Amino acid sequence: MRVAILGATGAVGTELLTLLEERNFPLSELKLLSSERSQGKTLTFKGENLTVEAVTEESFKNIDIVLASAGGSTSKAFAKAIVEAGAVMIDNSSAFRMDPKVPLIVPEINPEAIKDHQGIIANPNCTTIIMGVGIYPLHLIQPIKRIIVSTYQSASGAGARAMEEVKIQAQAILNGETPKAEILPYPLAFNLFPHNSPMTEFNYCEEEMKMINETRKIFNAPDIQISPTCVRVPVLRAHSEAVNLEFSSPFAVEKAREILTNAPGVKLVEDWAKNYFPMPIDATGKDEVLVGRIRQDLSNPNALELWLCGDQIRKGAALNAIQIAELL
């Protein structure tokens, strides 16, 4: 395959580069593309220094797959040129996720939907991917009626600059100084706040609406009821989620534990004696979604509670895109 990474110098772009090498993706050519601001930078791939090029509409000639992670506006601007060049765009932005003509793919959940692509395949939102991988195996056995989820989202979801800002803020606070916020709207170090994406007419922010709409599309379950609360927390990378799942009848905890132990992309992490369950520090750099603390909801006999963590940059973005490319 001849592959291009659009947005190669960003947090997800550099992770895509790492994963292409780690997974020995079969490629004969690799082109790194970015805005003019990053033109001329070099990145290393398999011991070779590759120069980043400024993207133009001519950049996609003789390319088979474009791994796009440069934001929605960039994806929209170049989608037509990519498809007309005969390439397939695997897009990590929100630009095309809810387009009925564009498959929204999590390979562990709906790989068969990939065959309907028309040149664009969408990578879901990170929180949606991480939750979906952790709960879909249960949904397959007994359809989920309702999901109540609270997310604990790391700075990496806002990019490499946000991660760096949290480090600077933490140092400022430790030095007795007032932390400054430039990338995120408020200081995140030693703090947390509801997700800062724009508010919708329903008083759910856009991040929360993504979890609702994307999960319904990926699960092919338009009637599933979902209520998310998304929160940004002072963690550098890896998101966590507290999930309550309601079924139409009881779901045995031991059965759920057995199913998730053998589920693709999932690793069960539970040590009840030590009160040890998934943590962002353990999920960082890992391919799997870590799931644990599976328990009966004491307030509802038909509901289960569970806790999960996943690397937002990896499975929540770059790895999922690479897995889609491997499916292609």
> Rounded distance, CA 119 to CA 147, Å?
32
Among candidate residues 117, 126, 139, 195, the one labeled active-site is: 126
Q: Which amino acid is at 126?
A: C
The active-site residue, picked from 195, 205, 239, 309, is: 239
Please list, in sequence order, all residues whose beta carbon lies within 8 angstroms of the beta carbon of residue 61, skipping any fewer than 6 positions away. Answer: 85
- Give yes or no: 117 in active site: no
Our answer to whether residue 126 is catalytic in this structure is: yes
- Cβ within 8 Å of residue 20, ≥6 positions away: 3, 27, 30, 45, 322
Q: Which amino acid is at 26?
A: P
Q: What does the alpha-carbon distance between residue 197 and residue 125 come to, in Å, rounded to a whole number?
A: 13
The span from the CA of 255 to the CA of 27, in Å, is 42
In 3D space, the residue among 128, 152, 90, 154 whose CA is nearest the CA of residue 313 turns out to be 154
CA triple 208-152-185, angle to 5 deg: 75
Catalytic site residues?
A: 126, 239
